[in-house]
Amino acid sequence: MFGDVEGNRARVADAVETAARAGAELVVLPELCTTGYAFADESEACELGEPADGPTLEQWRGLAAAHRLVIVGGFCELDAEGTPRNSALIVDQDGASRVYRKTHLWDREQLIFVAGTEPPPVIDTSAGRIGIAICYDAFFPEVMRGLALGGADVIAVPMNSPIVGSPTEPLAAEVVLALAAAQVNRVYVAQADRAGPERGIRWANASAICDPDGRLLAGPVEGTTVLHSACDLERARDKALGARNDVLADRRPQLYATTNDKETVN
């Protein structure tokens, strides 16, 4: 619920417990899951945000240790200067943690947050090598490719996806992108979208878990729920496709390096 930080932390604890009971080793939570998404302005973000070593880190360390799993999710970070950042936090069961600041800001986020300057990371954890992208970051195939080249087994995507225009059929546009990224990189993609009413926004309900063949393992689904699926990370470490192809080795970077200039026939 927007602005109900304590209530949202309790909802996170419930969701992590539900996931743990289902056997989860990795839990992905939505973008800005402690505060809600639809900030009116920067000052509201400053009021609701917290430093990277604030109460969210403390809570997630407790949950990760208690349930022996890795948690990735979004929170409103206030940096050393007090500037709001749309960040993701990853916490391992031993308490190790890392913050990533969203590098591609969507729409009004540009009025509220300052974009990060470090690329989306790949983190070695007890649940495998986890790449992180936040919502609109995943719209850029370069981001997902970079995470795969960086060794990600699973790309975790905390997201809040407002519907732009009318929904696409038969799959939400954000689910199409997740399936495509999973397929061309032969990685798992686990994205957690927002659900429920928030200041009049309609959400795309794009939570999904995709496998390296570009198949839906779980989701999409309407409403608030916990999706889960078994993932065999060895499958994401084998980039072979059929008998003679390899989705990363078949790249021809020397042909991608330069922008193709527009040409005229003959």
Residue list 137-166, contact with its own copies (CB under 8 A): 139-147, 149-151, 164-165
CA dist., res. 161 & res. 138, Å (int): 11
Smallest gap, in angstroms, from Cβ of residue 181 to its own copies?
A: 8
Q: Is residue 251 near its own copies by the rule CB under 8 A?
A: yes
DSSP-derived pairing of the beta strands 188-192 and 154-158: parallel
The residues annotated with a catalytic role in the active site are 31, 102, 135
Kindly tell me which residue out of 6, 80, 81, 243 binds its own copies, with binding defined by CB under 8 A. 243
Q: What are phi and psi of 78, to 5 degrees?
A: -105, 120
With 0-12 / 13-18 / 19 or more C-beta atoms within 10 angstroms meaning exposed / middle / buried, residue 156 is buried
* 168-187 binders of its own copies (CB under 8 A): 168-171, 173, 176-177, 179-181, 183-184
Residues 6+ apart with CB under 8 A from 242: none
Kindly tell me which residue out of 102, 104, 194, 228 binds its own copies, with binding defined by CB under 8 A. 104
Per-residue contact flags (x/-) with its own copies for residues 81 to 100, judged by CB under 8 A: ---------x-x---xxx--
Q: Is residue 3 near its own copies by the rule CB under 8 A?
A: no
Q: Which is nearer to its own copies, 82 or 255 (CB)?
A: 255
Residue 238: what residue type? D
Sheet of 97-101, strands arranged across:
26-28, 70-78, 84-91, 97-101
Per-residue contact flags (x/-) with its own copies for residues 13 to 42, judged by CB under 8 A: ------------------------------
Q: Which is nearer to its own copies, 13 or 184 (CB)?
A: 184
Q: Which is nearer to its own copies, 82 or 265 (CB)?
A: 265
Q: Quick check: bond before 84 cis, omega within 30? A: no
Q: Is residue 262 near its own copies by the rule CB under 8 A?
A: yes
Question: Which of 14, 31, 39, 106 shows the shortest CA–CA distance to 72?
Answer: 31
Smallest gap, in angstroms, from Cβ of residue 170 to its own copies?
A: 5
Q: Is residue 113 near its own copies by the rule CB under 8 A?
A: no
Residue 198 per-residue DSSP state: B
Q: What are phi and psi of 195, to 5 degrees?
A: -135, 165
Q: Is residue 54 near its own copies by the rule CB under 8 A?
A: no
Residue whose entry in the numeric block shows the structure tokens 């970070």: 77
Number of residues that bind its own copies (CB under 8 A): 74
